[in-house]
Chain A
Amino acid sequence: MCDSCGCDHGPGGVTIALPGGRPAAVAEDHQHGKTLRVEQEVLGKNNHLAARNREWFRAHNILALNLVSSPGSGKTTILEQTIRRLSGAIPVAVIEGDQQTLLDAERIDATGVPVVQVNTGAGCHLDAGMVHRALHALTPPDHSLLLIENVGNLVCPAMFDLGEAAKAVIISVTEGEDKPLKYPAMFAAARLCLINKIDLLPHLDFSVERCLEYARRANPDLTFFILSARTGDGMDGWLTWLHDAVRPAA
């Protein structure tokens, strides 16, 4: 008899049968040995590191936002224009996430605010450990706004908490108004939703109203900003929200 589970897989000559001589069903995949209860969340380590980041942000009065979108929605242009229009009223620091290149960090560097680039290689998202290491290199000032531009991807970054105060999901009007229905997990995880490139609306069939309705199906609590980072149209509402959300030095 097996010591750990009590089943019978003893030496040759032993058979297992049911009354009437029918052979008993014995699970083919039964593995012997000792079973250890683990009961651990796979994302537990990331969530633990994210909680540490969040506590650090709280202690330093830093508002951290995690910007997520498909590639090409205009995240970096929104960052550039946000930084230029805030013009030093709130200190800003930026963490850029891309699989490769320093291109986005160079664009942000040109605005004059501190920035570090995280290259994830094959990785499709930032995780809390990467942000922790980036913070060591960046050391954002107290009472500031930290903008984290995630890898362009509407799927994977939804699962990974970085310790941010909120995720801001960005959709551009060239992508089609049904994006929130196709990728609901990201819209459900976000608190803010920016609809960008509205200067192109006259050339498209995109209905802002339908897009809002689809996004609310995924998350009725979303706060929306409808804007064009290129022309500046609608940027005031976003900047006002940031001013109100970053608490000044006491």
Chain B
Amino acid sequence: MHEMSLAQSIMELVTAEAEAAGARRVNRIELEVGTLAGVMVDSLRFCLEAAGRETVAAGAELAIHEIAAIGRCPVCGAMESMAGLIASCPRCGQYLVLENGRELRVVSITVDE
């Protein structure tokens, strides 16, 4: 359940940004989460709602964009989608090297002016 500590880190980031902007309320939090980031999105949502209580971001809408995992074949250079961390190139059989899919980022927040 590392989602709870990730949710707390996200809320720390969000409340610090809101405070720096002098915002009274955060209406929306936009996140990017790679499908191989090791994060369960449903669990993260649940934890963000809990971690946001009694903060300026309480009840904020959560816009979570999932980034598909893509790996590169070290032999033929093909870019293939990866369902797990261990996946091989359908042409060469070589193990793919992950290029995208481990993102875990706060992209933006929308605040009351």
B85 near A125: Cβ-Cβ < 8 Å: no
Query: Inside 8 A of B21's CB, which chain A residues have their CB?
Result: 34, 36
Count of chain A to chain B residue pairs whose CB atoms are closer than 8 Å in the complex: 97
- Residues B78-113 near A (CB distance < 8 A): 84-86, 95, 104-113
Residue of A nearest to B84 (CB): A184
B109 near A35: Cβ-Cβ < 8 Å: yes
| B95: min CB distance to chain A, Å | 6
A33 near B38: Cβ-Cβ < 8 Å: no
B85 near A218: Cβ-Cβ < 8 Å: yes
Query: Inside 8 A of A43's CB, which chain B residues have their CB?
Result: 6, 9, 104
Is A174 an interface residue, CB under 8 A from the partner?
no
**Of B5, B14, B85, B112, the contact of A123 (CB 8 Å cutoff):** B5
**Of B5, B10, B17, B38, the contact of A185 (CB 8 Å cutoff):** B38
Measured in the bound complex, the distance between the Cα atoms of B105 and A109 in whole Å is: 41
The 5 closest A-B pairs by CB, nearest first: A156-B2, A31-B27, A184-B85, A31-B28, A38-B106
Query: Inside 8 A of B38's CB, which chain A residues have their CB?
Result: 155, 158-159, 185
Query: Inside 8 A of B4's CB, which chain A residues have their CB?
Result: 122
Main secondary structure of the interface of B (DSSP, over half): mixed
Query: Inside 8 A of A217's CB, which chain B residues have their CB?
Result: 86, 95
A42 near B108: Cβ-Cβ < 8 Å: no
Query: Inside 8 A of B28's CB, which chain A residues have their CB?
Result: 29, 31, 33, 35
Is A22 an interface residue, CB under 8 A from the partner?
no
- Residues A124-157 near B (CB distance < 8 A): 124-125, 127, 155-156
| B23: min CB distance to chain A, Å | 8
Measured in the bound complex, the distance between the Cα atoms of B61 and A29 in whole Å is: 8
B13 near A38: Cβ-Cβ < 8 Å: yes
Say yes or no: A124-B2 contact (C-beta < 8 A), given A32-B27, A43-B9, A185-B85. yes
